[in-house]
Amino acid sequence: MDLRTRISAALKAAMKDREADRLGTLRLINAAIKDRDIAARTEGGEDGVGEAEVLAILARMVKQRQESARAYEEGGRLDLAERERDEIGVIEDFLPRQLTEDEVDAAIGAAIVETQANSIRDMGRVMALLKAEYAGRMDFAAVGPAVRQRLA
């Protein structure tokens, strides 16, 4: 079952079970995906976005909510921070399992070997390969400096 189908099924289940908070988050996910579909159609005439782009959208939504939760905590609004964390939990239900540090290191090593990268100039090729193979499974903001360090 593809990701869109899983999200739609979860949306219907949340409606039937009258889970208002989960339903709201699932509607936000659907809206973000549809917005990207519309943008893709106007840019290049595609039917919509693929699975990798949906994963990227979900990862971006998680990151936004983590930043919001941190800001709410600093502002003393623990109730809002908790709501953001609840939304993160709903979104993460649709993301694949995150790789461990050891798995990330192994993936970086394999990508460097596969692309035959030997200097910092090859970092773009390594990152492109990693993003293609591990979309949604690793934090690329943390992977970038690790790749740069390995290639330096």
Tens-binned pLDDT, residue by residue, of the chain (152 aa)? 688 899 999 999 999 999 999 999 999 999 999 998 888 888 776 677 888 788 888 988 998 999 999 999 999 999 999 999 999 999 989 988 888 888 988 999 899 999 888 888 888 899 999 988 887 788 888 888 988 888 88
Assign a CATH topology to domain 101-151: Arc Repressor Mutant, subunit A (1.10.10)
Q: Which helix (H) or strand (E) holds 13?
A: helix 3-17
For the chain, give every residue range classified as CATH 1.10.1510.10.
3-92
CA pair distance 71, 92, nearest whole angstrom: 20
| Amino acid 72: pLDDT | 95
Q: What is the pTM of this model?
A: 0.74
- SS3 string, 10-69, reads HHHHHHHHCCHHHHHHHHHHHHHHHHHHHHHHHHHCCCCCCHHHHHHHHHHHHHHHHHHH
CATH fold of the domain at 3-92: Hypothetical Protein Yqey; Chain: A; domain1 (1.10.1510)
Residue bearing tokens 């998680």: 62
Considering only the C-alpha atoms of the chain, give the largest distance between any 2 of them, rounded to a whole number of Å.
55
d(CA 35, CA 29): 10
Under 8 Å between Cβ of 57 and 36? yes
Q: Do 7 and 23 touch, CB atoms closer than 8 A?
A: no
CATH 1.10.10 residue spans of the chain: 101-151
Among candidates 24, 139, 4, 8, which has minimal Cα distance to 87?
24
Rg over alpha carbons for the chain, rounded to the nearest Å, is 18
